[in-house]
Amino acid sequence: MSPLRQALAGYLAVRRSLGYGLARQEKLLGQFITYLEDAGATTVTTRLALAWAALPGGNQSWHALRLQAVRGFASWLQAIDPSAEVPPAGLLPWRPCRATPYLYSDGDIAALIAAAGTLRFPLRVAAYQTLIGLLAVTGMRIGEAIRLDHGDLDLAGGVLTVPQSKFGKSRLLPLHPTTAGALHGYLRLRDHLHPHPSTAAVFISLAGARLDYRNVHATWKVLAARAGLQARSPSCRPRIHDLRHSFAVASLLDAYAAGQDAQARLALLATYLGHVDPAATYWYLSAAPELLARARQRLEHHLREQP
């Protein structure tokens, strides 16, 4: 193993000990080191980092993301190799454009579940109908849902464990009896249709393997089209991740409707959703006009009561 690859292994180990996954960074930096080795370089230079990051393929944001990965590694490498150069920030300027959440109504979710009923094969129908329902009522990330194993479900106790989710944290989610019942019904049908799957996963494919992330997203596009869901703007398209946004917004709207302290609900919601930074949860306030309207009404009511 070359010194650069040894350094990369150390960098990844240190950052992962802090809770970062770094799957994409590991892949990108491995490719970068191959590029350095082919160029005969023994350390990171700004010239080579910029040349690699801007290789043909991808758009400006992708090039900036590649260079950002190099900057993190180069900053760490410089501590053990003073000759390593850290590319300056802003060499490939890019301002991220966050997608506008596609907030699903109850009718939209019902249409999606109905669309899943049009899929071929009963096992696929059951898997996707249950998966959509689970995401809608728990706000789980899609990756968390498809990583669920049998041992993560305590249906009798009404609790679901999300193991080692984003940032390496696990959390417990309470399940409504109807949700636990739906999961139990799915598992019973699944075991009847495929008694010997090759995985302990809750959601399985026709082959008996764990559902694949890319295949789920491809199927989601089909279901959204069959459900008649259309983009509301170039940046607001029906994504599966937006079931999570919809859950968060609905939770806050419920708090306002019940006259509860929305700030306190936000703190609970951040933990429930598995957010490390509460700012990730606060962003939902600006993502939905309904929430802004509720917040304005609450403020106006408060001001009217002031002497």
Region 57-78: mean pLDDT is: 90
Question: What is the C-alpha separation between 109 and 119, in angstroms, rounded?
Answer: 16
Alpha-carbon gap, residue 298 to 147, rounded angstroms: 40
Residues with Cβ within 8 Å of 240's Cβ and at least 6 positions away in sequence, in order, are 135, 142, 216, 217, 220
Instruction: Compute the average pLDDT of residues 186-212.
Output: 96
Residue of 255 and 201 predicted with greater confidence: 201
Instruction: Give me the pLDDT at residue 198, please.
Output: 94
Burial-class residue 175 by CB neighbours within 10 Å (0-12, 13-18, 19+): buried
Q: What tokens appear for 194 in the block?
A: 């495929």
Q: Which of 304, 252, 3, 2 is nearest to 103 (CA)?
A: 252
pLDDT of residue 299: 46
Q: What average pLDDT score do residues 129-140 get? A: 96
302: pLDDT confidence band, cut at 50, 70 and 90?
Answer: very low
From the list 104, 74, 137, the residue with the least C-alpha distance to 223 is 104
pLDDT of residue 110: 97
pLDDT at 86: 95
Residue 286's pLDDT is what? 58
pLDDT mean over 46-58: 92
Q: Identify the residue with better confidence: 286 or 241.
A: 241
Residue % of the chain over a pLDDT of 90: 63
Q: Looking at the annotation, which residues are catalytic?
A: 141, 166, 241, 244, 275, 284
Of residues 305 and 271, more confidence is placed in 271
Please state the rounded mean pLDDT for residues 39-57. Answer: 94
Confidence of residue 1 (pLDDT cuts 50, 70, 90): confident
Residue 108 pLDDT grade (very low, low, confident, very high; cuts 50, 70, 90): very high
CB 159 within 8 A of CB 172: yes
Q: Give the mean pLDDT of the chain.
A: 87
pTM score of the predicted model: 0.70
- Mind listing the pLDDT tens digit for each residue in 275-288? 766 666 666 555 56
